Amino acid sequence: MKIALAQLNYHIGNFEKNTSVIIDHIEKAKNDQVDLIVFSELSVCGYPPQDLLEKKSFIELCGIAVEEIAANSNDIAVIIGSPTLNYHKKGKKLYNSAIFIENGEVKFIQNKTLLPTYDIFDEYRYFEPNDKFNIVEYKGVKIAITICEDLWDFRPTENTFARNQLYNVTPMDKLIEYKPDLILNIAASPFSYTKIWGRKNVFIRNAKKYNLPVFTLNQVGAQTELIFDGGSLVVNPDGTIADEMKLFAEDYKIYNLEDIKKCSVKKTIDEDPDVIAKIHDALVLGIHDYFEKMNFTKATLGLSGGIDSAVALVIAVQALGAENVRVLLLPSKYSSDHSITDAEILAKNLGVKHDIINIQDVVDSFNKSFQNIFKGLEEDITEENIQARARGTILMALSNKFGHILLNTSNKSEAAVGYGTLYGDMNGGLSVLGDVYKADVYKLARYINRNSEIIPENTIIKPPSAELRPEQKDSDSLPDYETLDKILFEYIELQKTQEDIIEEGWDKILVERIIKLVDSNEYKRYQAPPILRISTKAFGAGRRMPLVAKYH
């Protein structure tokens, strides 16, 4: 049997596009004399559709799309993902389903059993879990169809409070009773740099456990903050990897099932992947798809001469093209000459249009307006924030006038401890680096400069500073970023307690201070733009903390 995997980039709710690319690949598979072509989880409507699933018209359009795809599936078998109706009187209205089509007819539907409700996932909000198990037989081959989480019933965790075994049932233990010849898994599994090998190990473990080939097809493309990296896998029954499809790009490949069953095809996989390179590629894809799927074309950002805006600009240019990015340099009396020079050099290196607007007159005007109200009071962070908000206002004016989307350049370290100004440097329609720790921003800069100096060396080596007061440095308010990031990672990603972190040897006062900053600045992050997610604990949809909680 020849099996084709179509790793495609879908657009949520764009039924015309999704249906068209699916049918195009079905025709391609027919020409390639493929027996079965497979598409990813909820491919018909795009993943995750969220509360669109509560609209009757949306579900009806899913049904129409399935019918159109089936009508174009003569002389071939097709597996697509779509919501389907639950016709039982009890339970939720929908299933998350894999639909098996053979010669133009829907012959079998496998509903998803394990519905994740952690991190960014909230599937039990919409779907009824499956409780019936069977396999489909096609051309003498018995196929066990699973949907994403159905093969993830056990996961390693570094959080001692979390459970490894999240579910009460293991779908493959039910399906193996029917003696299938292979496992097919359709998925929408988002990228996380902390789980690069973890996902592969899930499928390797299942192949070994059941002594069966595993074909897993993942979605690719970004849906707002979620970035799906593709990387679909074919695993031999002995747990060796037969093939891995492209990362962060569409792909289409054909496999001979007999070769996979015999373990005659094996691919060498890099066991020490370049994590920074993958983060870079994820962010480029995230920006590109956000603009394309929202019908935006132009972007802008404030280029300060610092490392964050420099890295964000390079990634934006790689995603959109230099002709579609315009930057503003917004110096004040506290901006150093080298910051302006570094910013100009970078803009010229990239071929990006740039303008300089000195904000000092604007800031002085604000301060003059407040001179009676603030009379007798010492200057403090208020005056610093006026500078940031002046810049934010100017950038938003450019955005409004020319229809550009303002890209936010704040990093995760700063966002975690509240080192940012609401309605100032936190402005933006999309946060490029909001899930990237500061230490990794520097690594991204080095990766960008791996072949030639694009970002000026001075931008990378100079001490980071917001330049909002004389001789200001980030280290005046924060510990060095290497230390800060390690403590933040343990508290945010690993969800360790304050006591656990202190027991590892970190300074007690420092840990208490950092954790207090994280907890007390939730209200700021709540108002931040969507953040491109590259970890398992990005700020935003996957981390839900109450704003008014007293708990500490």
Angle at the Cα of 93 (from 91 to 95), degrees rounded to 5? 90
CB 72 within 8 A of CB 20: no
Angle at the Cα of 352 (from 349 to 353), degrees rounded to 5? 130
Helix ranges restricted to H, 294-380: 307-320, 337-350, 360-369
104, 216, 263, 510 from 207: Cα distances, Å:
31, 11, 11, 46
Is 112 considered catalytic here? yes
51, 144, 290, 444 from 84: Cα distances, Å:
15, 19, 28, 43
> What does the alpha-carbon distance between residue 142 and residue 181 come to, in Å, rounded to a whole number?
5
List phi, psi (to 5°) of 96: -95, 110
CB 187 within 8 A of CB 216: yes
Beta bridge partners of 105: 102
> What does the alpha-carbon distance between residue 215 and residue 175 come to, in Å, rounded to a whole number?
15
What one-letter code names the amino acid at 221? G
Is 443 considered catalytic here? no
> What does the alpha-carbon distance between residue 215 and residue 256 come to, in Å, rounded to a whole number?
11
| Torsion, CA 145, CA 149, CA 150, CA 151, rounded to 10 | 90
Q: Which long-range contacts (CB under 8 A, 24 or more apart) does 24-31 make?
A: 25/252, 26/69, 26/72, 26/73, 26/76, 26/78, 27/72, 28/252, 29/4, 29/76, 29/254, 30/75, 30/76
Is 537 considered catalytic here? no
Grouping H, G, I as helix, E, B as strand and the rest as coil, residue 151 is helix
Residues across the chain = 552
> What does the alpha-carbon distance between residue 251 and residue 265 come to, in Å, rounded to a whole number?
19
Of the candidates 293, 317, 297, 313, which has an alpha carbon nearest to the alpha carbon of residue 305? 313
Residue of 45, 62, 128, 148 with catalytic role: 148
> What does the alpha-carbon distance between residue 46 and residue 369 come to, in Å, rounded to a whole number?
51
Burial-class residue 120 by CB neighbours within 10 Å (0-12, 13-18, 19+). middle
Q: How far apart are the first and last CA of the chain?
A: 58
Torsion sign across C-alpha atoms 479, 484, 488, 491: negative
Residue of 62, 102, 112, 412 with catalytic role: 112
Q: What are the catalytic residues?
A: 41, 112, 148
